[in-house]
Structure 1
Amino acid sequence: MENQKQKILEYACEMFFDCGTRSISMDDIAKKLAISKKTLYQYYSNKQDLIGQALKWELSHPKFSFESPKFEGLNAIERYWKFYKFISEMIKKPHHSLEFDLKKYHPELWSNFKNGKMKLFREGLRFNIKQGIEEGFYRQELNIDIVSNLLVRFYLNMWKEEYDVFSKEELMSEELNKELTIYHLHGICSIKGIEYLNKLKQN
């Protein structure tokens, strides 16, 4: 029972993120999973309930985490470089439809999801900066709160059309993401960190 409920949640989450919530019906999800709508409603009372649970699942299973066990043994610069690679893949398939639908049709769910994303991202950045300072790769005098909040502000607002400094093509380019990454790391790295970053860039 739990395995089926989990499978429904994962597939629904994937469909909502790819296509938005408005264009995906409970029928679509049932057909995708080859189950009846009756089975679907055994686990989720309605579409709103499923959307809410899918968003909670997404927050509890982030696609990237600076603290992930798979990064064990990596220093702070290496972890941030992994983040750069992850973002380079993510910007190729932005989820504008989901954000639009949540804001318009599910504002409370959007608010909770947005706040949850901000909290997780900020905590991850703080973890990375603290690690880098302890390792001597980042400058000791860094204001961790300001630096982490600046990055949260940028990454979660980079698609806002009212701030169209870059074209959509530029925003989706790895070149822009790489320049931002190098710009950020050069700003927070110590001399030791800069030396290590230069070696990393050459590989």
Structure 2
Amino acid sequence: MRETILQKATKMFLSLGFKSVTMDDIANELGISKKTIYQHFANKTDLVEAATDNLFETIASGIDNIREQDKNSIEEVFIIRSFIMQHLNNETASPFYQLQKFFPKIFSCLRIKQFEKMNGCMIENLKKGIENGIFRPDININFVSRIYFTGLTGIKDSEIFPQDVFEVEKLTKMYLEYHLRAIVTPKGLSILENFI
């Protein structure tokens, strides 16, 4: 039952927001009592933390599986992007804005874990791309990896990138293209343009 509650809560949090969804909403969706939820989660904060941890672990595991496929660095980044978008249900920035505003400790821990995972993956991706001649050998790997993460999280700021102007799906694709064009070799550029 704990897993069922966790899966339903995660889905609702992503589509409606971490603050907006109440324990009553989750209980009603599952056709159970709130008491049943409280047998598995001490309170809403506990459930939000479990949901974000679960989502992070699912995505991190999926990214590892994609990396094991040994695609070229450009293709790998596009596949990972699609995978993440799919698991976040093409989420808008709103659920994570609510997480940041109303559950700041959980948000902060999640951001640290996201950075560690993404930074490690991106450093490996960049090294592989340089070895394969699709990324420029003169790039500063540590800088590029960090600026990539900063950009990905920055485009979720709905005040700077309002959703009525920038569709989430297109925005991440535009950012990916922008990022890759800055670091590819001519060989990498031809691979990139095949994806666009």
Q: TM-score, normalised by structure 2?
A: 0.82
**Higher Cα radius of gyration:** 1
Q: Decide which of 41, 57, 62 is 1:44's aligned counterpart.
A: 41
Where 1:39 maps in the other structure, the secondary structure is helix
CA contact (8 A) 1:71 1:79 kept: no
Tell me the residue number matched to 1:94.
92
- How far apart are residue 37 of structure 1 and its match? 2.2
Query: Identity over the aligned pairs, expressed in percent?
Result: 29
Q: Using the alignment, how far apart are the partners of 2:58 and 2:83 within structure 1?
A: 15
Deviation per CA, 1:95-135, whole angstroms, max 9, x where unpaired? 41x23333333221121122222222222322321221222
CA contact (8 A) 2:93 2:156 kept: no
Where 1:80 maps in the other structure, the secondary structure is helix
Q: Which amino acid aligns with 2:2?
A: K
Q: Using the alignment, how far apart are the partners of 1:186 and 1:126 within structure 2?
A: 17
Change in Cα spacing, 1:182 to 1:151, as seen in structure 2 (3 Å) is: same
Q: How does 1:120-199 map to 2 (within 5 A)?
A: 120-160=117-157, 164=160, 167-172=162-167, 176-198=171-193
- How far apart are residue 33 of structure 1 and its match? 1.6
Please, which runs of 5 or more residues in structure 1 have no aligned partner? none
Question: How many residue pairs align between the two structures?
Answer: 195
- How far apart are residue 92 of structure 1 and its match? 5.2
Tell me the residue number matched to 2:28.
31
- How far apart are residue 79 of structure 1 and its match? 1.2
Q: Which amino acid aligns with 1:30?
A: A
Tell me the residue number matched to 1:53.
50
- How far apart are residue 201 of structure 1 and its match? 3.7
Q: Using the alignment, how far apart are the partners of 1:170 and 1:57 within structure 2?
A: 31
CA contact (8 A) 2:122 2:145 kept: yes
Q: Using the alignment, how far apart are the partners of 2:66 and 2:97 within structure 1?
A: 33
CA contact (8 A) 2:123 2:142 kept: yes
Q: Which amino acid aligns with 2:167?
A: M
Please, which runs of 5 or more residues in structure 2 have no aligned partner? none
Q: Which amino acid aligns with 1:12?
A: A
CA RMSD of aligned residues (A): 2.8
Q: Using the alignment, how far apart are the partners of 2:150 and 2:181 within structure 1?
A: 19
Q: TM-score, normalised by structure 1?
A: 0.79
